[in-house]
A = this chain, B = another copy of it.
Amino acid sequence: MRLNKVNELEFLSTLFDQEKIKDYDRWELIYSENESPEALYYLESGLVGLVKVSKSGNENLLRIFKQDELFGHRSLFAGEAYHASAKCLEKSRLRMIPKEEVMKAFAENPEAYQYLAKYLAKELGRAENRSFIVSESHIVERVAYALLYFKKVFPEHMWTRQEIANYCATRTPTVIKVLGDLEKMNLICQNRRQIEVLDESKLIQIAEEGAIF
């Protein structure tokens, strides 16, 4: 949910309270699975991931929030406990708006629910698409999909192999091997930890059709 640039939610900015600003380090947790939501969060700068950890310790990266986006809204409006944890993927600065104030403001601006519904409907579509890709595609396809998605939506972040693995629901060594393959095919170029996309259309082809050979 974008706050800046979106008239529908501008009323929320009147709730910003200088005292409710907080800075977080990389890897720091903002909230944890099973807690009850007490606030809505607005990301002033940085990058936040919604993650869920399995018993075997693997982190699954479900959703990613960038600058100027709101998060923590799903559980808040569902009236449920958090189903996953929010964790900083970069140093981040964020504002929190207490639950009661959010609810009051939405009650005074009921047309905002329409925007919220639209936004949640899009997120649901994205979640189900990712779920489908993860369960039906081979790893090359998933990695190609992730590279394209990351380049398009979060181009400024330096994605680690670990993070890519978490998003693709696979493991670091596998991502590294696949990146090696993609580099041999001249579709990407790795120097240092940076990954540069060279042939976007071929990557799209791999991501969508699963056709490599």
Stretch at the interface among A19-27, A79-87, A172-180, A199-207: A79-87
Interface bracket on A: 35 or more
Is A74 an interface position by the 8 A CB rule? yes
Cβ B136 vs Cβ A60 within 8 A: yes
By a CB distance below 8 angstroms, the chain B residues around A56 are 136
A212 to chain B, nearest CB (A): 13
Among residues of B, the one whose C-beta sits closest to the C-beta of A79 is B118
Is A135 an interface position by the 8 A CB rule? yes
Is A62 an interface position by the 8 A CB rule? yes
Taken together as a complex, chains A and B put the C-alpha atoms of A17 and B136 apart, in Å, by 40
Copies of this protein in the complex: 2
Is A113 an interface position by the 8 A CB rule? yes
Q: Contact string, A45-73, partner B, CB cutoff 8 A, digits 1/0?
A: 00000101011101010110000000001
20 A-B residue pairings within 8 Å (CB atoms): A52-B132, A52-B136, A54-B136, A55-B210, A60-B136, A73-B121, A75-B121, A75-B125, A80-B122, A83-B125, A83-B128, A110-B110, A110-B114, A117-B117, A123-B124, A124-B124, A127-B131, A128-B131, A130-B131, A131-B134
